[in-house]
Chain A
């Protein structure tokens, strides 16, 4: 009882505390100088129309590397936590209907294709490596959900994951090597503004991220699924 009162009192107090954040913040009317610099610099120095992408991949590339690492950690951690067993029984698992199974198989390559498109054009259009990766993963998820019996090749997934991560670091290191700055994408030609092969190494990095994210998310979902099924025995 006391606890309940305390909890609600806490929540009310939290509201009171957070209130100034709402009341004292005036809506923006223009960009702050830093944002302005990003917008200007991105077009000038990076030849990347998608400013968010330039920020994500280049200016704040270290964050993104970290972000990739976080995802990587999550898969590794989950893999570390859950010991995958070879013989997963599927007894009692929900068996999808024929339509669903066929439909998912039909949709799968299309989604993959779409995802690939998204991360390849990350520097040009909305979206990027993460978004693309998530799309790819969603394709896998669809597949997994629809086909309970499907076995994903984890070796390949891991391989993609590791290699793309490794290559990402290597690309960063090339920047360090050639231009003296880690994750500098400008060692490749900046190309023509707005074209696919422009903005230095950004598309490459984003592609690697896309692959990696796709593989990782697939892996996570699959790990959880495997464990969950085992649980029902």
Chain B
């Protein structure tokens, strides 16, 4: 029993390491692709690693208090948890993570864990911009959660299970078994939600770098920032894997995982670089209009089957 647990933990560590690396690399690659879109060359793909390493080795840091100190830790734990409760690769023991502990709703709610902790940490920082950014972020989140939740419910209805593993299993056996084709409306709704979730343009006013210095982490220096950056890679991958599992047939090997998540993110990115920014209330109204209606139709269609 104990050994089993240790093996499990060992596997989890490996899988996390792989995914963090992959996530940061994806980030680097995407930055480069984005630069190409703008007609630049852009930073090297390993730039995220360098930045993290540099920040990790800053000589000083400041802290506003206990909650401030814990904020990034919450955030990172949230990223870790989100990832760890998703079965990353279908059928792989190594990448199965702790998906036995809970199902899709656990993952959906665990996403909030890090966000809440970070919000509180940033809040203790006392910087008004943090508060503004969090207020915006929460408002936007409450909106994009709706189409996402509807999409999830729609596929839950479709596959009659909450278990991500089973949802992936049901999509095996050919590209046409993917949710993307069997339930295109849910996929569309969720994809739009993903834009908001990733804070891609046009939904990036939350961090609005020029207006309110990058939002919640305004006060976080040095090691705190490095932890946040690490999480960024991991959390991004976690979200992409979740979407891949739910809508795009999952992955049977880690390479397929890399490919699919990369493509999902790429699609995401292309939309992101092509649109200007919505104001927050516009974003909310948008999310609660078209994607929500699509999501509702998706549910109704699935419920009628």
The answer on direct contact between A and B (beta carbons under 8 Å) is no
Interfacial residues, chain A to chain B (CB-CB below 8 A): none
